Structure formats: structure tokens, C-alpha cells
């Protein structure tokens, strides 16, 4: 099996799901003017860009693209803003979150543009990547708890599918954490497959919702 096959499947799945969710969120935002939808749209746009960058970094050989900086930090920041958008419902609060999110997006885009010039790895990569991957897992786990609580209150199909999506994403990030200290293709593939399953559940939630 091609070593990059599962990673490519994950990148492409993340790109298309992220792009679809972002476009749908922006379309609904135009109709209802909910800042929470705009925050989700911006977050999923950045996540889709990390997927496209990861795919390019794994497959483009004519130029060195050090996209890990953008991928790890971009996904972490995006999940943080999704979580923050769920904490409170007031439009004043959500406007503030959106404002900070747009400000945070600027250095993320700069990281992406600087990919050919960035160092090939993080300082102390075992610790740094473990913490960043673990932080993504923790944030997704908190989002899972939010949607689980929403499901227990209203028992909607949307909240059920969203809770499942973020639980699988969380476990996927936790599963790959040991590989940074002890490289393992098995852990990498299992974690990637769990995240692909989470993305499928996320897509189903958005389509059904």
C-alpha cells in the first residue's frame, strides 16, 4: 500500500468536507446573519486550507513545503474558535469572537505563504507536536461534550451526529500522539481512519441539519 494513501484520503476528505461546511455556513449566514455561522465558516475554511496544504506537502516534490506549522497551528486555532462560539449565544459576544478570529487568521495565512522558507520541523518536535495534537484532541472533546449535552436536551439528529463527529476526531488526534515519540504507521493509519469517520459524521450532520 502507498504510504501516503490514507494520509491523502484524510487530506482530501478534510478539504472537501471543510469546504462544503464553510460554504453552507456562509450561505446560511447571509440569510440569518448569525455570527456563530460565520465563525464556523471561517474555521472550516482554514481547516480546508490546512488539508490542501497537507496534501501539497505530501505530494509536491519540486519544491519543499514545510506546511506542518500552518497545519498544526491552523487546526488548533480553528477548533478553539468553534468551541468559543458555543460557550455563549449573545450576538455581542459572538461578534467579539469573530473579530478576534479574523485577526488571528492573518498570521495563519502568513504562515501558509511562508511554508517554503520555514524550518522543516518544530523545535523539540516530539514535545511540540504531541502537545499540539493533544490540544486538538482536547478541544474536540469539549465540543463533543457540548453537542452531547445539546442532544440530551433536544434529542436532535444534528446534535447526535455532531457529537459523534467530534468524538471520533478527538480520539483520532489522541491515537496519533504516541507516534511522535515512537513512530508507528499503524497508529498513524488508525488515527487517520478515525478522523475520516469523524468527517463523514460531520458531513452527514450538516447535510441532515
* Cβ 26 vs Cβ 41: under 8 Å: yes
- Tell me the per-residue pLDDT of 172-207, one tens digit each, with 9 for 90 and over: 999 988 888 887 778 877 888 888 888 889 888 888
Helices 91-113 & 35-59 angle (0-180, nearest 10) = 20
| Residue pLDDT tens, the chain, 209 long | 455 777 788 788 889 988 998 998 899 888 888 898 899 999 999 999 998 988 887 787 776 778 888 988 999 999 999 999 998 888 899 999 999 999 999 999 998 898 888 887 777 878 888 888 889 999 999 999 999 988 888 878 888 998 999 999 999 999 988 888 887 778 877 888 888 888 889 888 888 76
Beta-carbon-side half-sphere exposure of residue 114 (alpha carbons within 13 Å): 11
Handedness of CA 34, 38, 44, 48 (dihedral sign): positive
At residue 209, the pLDDT reads 64
Q: How many helices (H) and strands (E) does the chain have?
A: 7, 0
* Cβ 98 vs Cβ 38: under 8 Å: yes
Handedness of CA 11, 14, 18, 21 (dihedral sign): positive
Beta-carbon-side half-sphere exposure of residue 171 (alpha carbons within 13 Å): 13
Amino acid at each position: 500500500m502507498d504510504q501516503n494513501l490514507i494520509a491523502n484520503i484524510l487530506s482530501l476528505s478534510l478539504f472537501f468536507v471543510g469546504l462544503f461546511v464553510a460554504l453552507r455556513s456562509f450561505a446560511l449566514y447571509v440569510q440569518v446573519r448569525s455570527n456563530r455561522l460565520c465563525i464556523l465558516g471561517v474555521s472550516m475554511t482554514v481547516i480546508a486550507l490546512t488539508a490542501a496544504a497537507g496534501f501539497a506537502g505530501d505530494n509536491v516534490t519540486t519544491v519543499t513545503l514545510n506546511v506542518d506549522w500552518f497545519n498544526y497551528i491552523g487546526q488548533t486555532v480553528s477548533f478553539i474558535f468553534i468551541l468559543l462560539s458555543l460557550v455563549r449565544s449573545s450576538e455581542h459576544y459572538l461578534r467579539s469572537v469573530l473579530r478576534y478570529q479574523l485577526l488571528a487568521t492573518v498570521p495563519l495565512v502568513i504562515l501558509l505563504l511562508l511554508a517554503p522558507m520555514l524550518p522543516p520541523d518544530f523545535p523539540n518536535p516530539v514535545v511540540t507536536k504531541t502537545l499540539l495534537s493533544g490540544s486538538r484532541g482536547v478541544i474536540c472533546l469539549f465540543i463533543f461534550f457540548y453537542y452531547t449535552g445539546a442532544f440530551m436536551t433536544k434529542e436532535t439528529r444534528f446534535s447526535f451526529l455532531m457529537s459523534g463527529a467530534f468524538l471520533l476526531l478527538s480520539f483520532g488526534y489522541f491515537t496519533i500522539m504516541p507516534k511522535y515519540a515512537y513512530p508507528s504507521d499503524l497508529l498513524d493509519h488508525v488515527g487517520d481512519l478515525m478522523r475520516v469517520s469523524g468527517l463523514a459524521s460531520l458531513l452527514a450532520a450538516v447535510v441532515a441539519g
